[in-house]
Amino acid sequence: MKVLVFNSREENTNTYKLVTEFIRQALAENIEVKTLRTSEIEKCVGCRNCINKEICIHTDLLSDYLKDTSYDAFIFAGPIYFFSLNSELQKVLERLIGCDLRNKVLGLMLTSGSNFRYGGADLIIEQFKRIDEYCGSITIEPFNKVTYDKITSLNKCDILGIKKFIEDLKTEILISRGGCIDKI
Ligand SMILES: Cc1cc2nc3c(=O)[nH]c(=O)nc-3n(C[C@H](O)[C@H](O)[C@H](O)COP(=O)(O)O)c2cc1C
């Protein structure tokens, strides 16, 4: 099981702390995790090469990762900004438009600071569900941490939340690989 995490934030942020804990728990579950800092990823310039089934003009780390079709899941980790993905994650998403996302699992690990209408997490899920419909990907519900302050240390709920996120990830990967999960 191979997972690529797009981490859009630097150290000492809420996102970074959650990603670090995610990696710790995922490795304990024998999930292979690679992390890519979004600051190392070029933004889409709209050349349309990828849409025309040609090769993306960028030759950065993301293009290398995307050539490797063995990844089961891509995880978008970052804060919600103004009811949307932050621009760093939106930048990555745009680079995926020419990829074969059929049966790939997309995971949302979002942090937020507002309880007003889910802080906008519902809108982001809606966006990803539309991508699923169009591309055949499978988005798992976000691990969404609402916090007004910086996370100093993770509490039991955060850790259990990440555990649940990993369980959902594993289940969806199994299903996307044609596995059969018995439903009770
Ligand atoms: C410019 C800006 C816009 C924000 N917009 C939202 C928002 O629309 N909804 C929300 O729930 N939180 C919003 N927040 C709060 C952040 O999502 C929250 O503080 C998050 O935990 C920060 O994560 P980080 O420590 O990884 O940067 C916003 C924060 C900033 C700086």
- Residue 97 in contact with residue 28, Cβ under 8 Å? no
pLDDT digits (tens, 9 = 90+) for 112-164: 999 999 999 999 999 999 999 999 999 999 999 999 889 999 999 999 999 99
Phi, psi of 113 (to 5 degrees): -130, 5
Share of the chain above pLDDT 70, in %: 99
Label residue 183 by pLDDT band (50, 70, 90): low
pLDDT of residue 74: 98
CA atoms within 13 A on the CB side of 89: 26
Q: pTM for the whole thing?
A: 0.96
91 CA → ligand 1 middle, Å: 17
pLDDT digits (tens, 9 = 90+) for 86-118: 999 999 999 999 899 999 999 999 999 999 999
pLDDT of residue 55: 84
**Whether the CB of 161 sits within 6 Å of ligand 1:** no
| Ligand 1 atom with minimal separation from the 151 CA | 25
As a whole number, mean pLDDT of residues 17-38 equals 97
Could you tell me which residues come within 8 angstroms of residue 180 by beta carbon, excluding any fewer than 6 positions away? none
pLDDT of 48 strictly over 80: yes
pLDDT of residue 184: 55
- Give the CATH architecture of domain 2-176: 3-Layer(aba) Sandwich (3.40)
Query: Which residue from 17, 111, 123 has its CB within 8 A of the most atoms of ligand 1, so it is best to mutate?
Result: 111
173 CA → ligand 1 middle, Å: 29
